[in-house]
Amino acid sequence: MKKVLVLCSAVVVALAFMAASSIHSVSEGVDVGDIAPDFNLMNVDGEMISLSDYKAEEGHEAVKGFIITFTCNTCPYAIMYEDRLIELHNKMAPMGWPVVAIQPNDPSVKPGDSMDKMKERATEKGFPFVYLMDEGQKVYPKFGAERTPHVFLLDTDRKVHYIGAIDDSARDPESVTRNYVVDAISAIEKGNTPDPVSTKAIGCSIKTKK
């Protein structure tokens, strides 16, 4: 009898998992715990970048994960985070967690987000991280990015550990009380689950042709 019970509960659990995964496959984008897709996108220096062959800079620790950040030139919120994104990369990349910035807007809708303008901005600000064009806007929907800026924190297996904002005070770096991304990375490094695993923030919609 006991065996039958165990079997039954196993079947129920299995069915529940199947139901859950089938629901999930309907929704676009990745959730925390999912494996994010890799990509092959052009950097502002003309090089094609994939996560699978991402090389750590000299003197940096081997890559442990990526701070994938959907951002752009034109959104005031993205601009407010530029300096903090530079700071984040300079702090975390040597520890194995580089920022990988992806520009998801359609440049025909937002001319300020063309590859030429991205190059200009990257040079002006001296971006220390790669700044990739989501050519054809194929990557951001697979991640489920909804706004700029929008962060997805992945390990090298591309497992998603955190989705959301960089910190809790977009408008004023002085008033930041929680550095969500930095805190999430230190939780992962200790073998813990980040808390929170996701946050929401105000941002600009990703610009597509109507």
Partner 1 sequence: MQRFWMVIFLLVSFTFGCQSSGETDQVEQAEKKPKPLYVSYEKFDDIAPLFNKNNDTTYVINFWATWCKPCVEELPYFEDLYAAYSDKKVKIILVSLDFPNQIESKFIPFLEERQLGPDIALLLDGDANTWIDRVNPEWGGAIPVTLVYKNEASTFHSTQFASFDELEEIVKEIL
Q: Return residues touching partner 1 (CB under 8 A).
A: 76, 146-147, 164-165, 168-172, 175, 196, 199-206, 210
Cβ closest to partner 1, residue 60 vs residue 142: 142
Supply the minimum distance, in Å, between the C-beta of residue 131 and partner 1. 21
Q: Which is nearer to partner 1, 44 or 77 (CB)?
A: 77
Q: How far is the CB of 41 from partner 1 (least distance, A)?
A: 22
Do residues 88 and 128 touch, judged by C-beta distance below 8 A? no
Which stretch of DSSP H or E encloses residue 21?
helix 2-26
Quote the tokens at residue 129.
């991280």
Q: Rounded to 5 degrees, what are φ and ψ at 50?
A: -125, 155
Query: In this complex, which beta carbon is closest to partner 1, that of residue 22 or of residue 27?
Result: 27
CA pair distance 181, 151, nearest whole angstrom: 8
* Strand 99-103, strand 65-70: pairing: parallel
Residue 196 CB, nearest distance to partner 1 (Å)? 8
φ, ψ of residue 102 to 5 degrees: the values are -125, 130
CB-nearer residue toward partner 1: 24 or 171: 171
Strand order in the sheet with 99-103: 48-49, 41-43, 130-133, 99-103, 65-70, 150-155, 160-164
Q: From the CB of 142, what's the least distance to partner 1, in Å?
A: 16
**Which is closer to partner 1, CB of 98 or CB of 203?**
203
Smallest gap, in angstroms, from Cβ of residue 201 to partner 1? Answer: 5
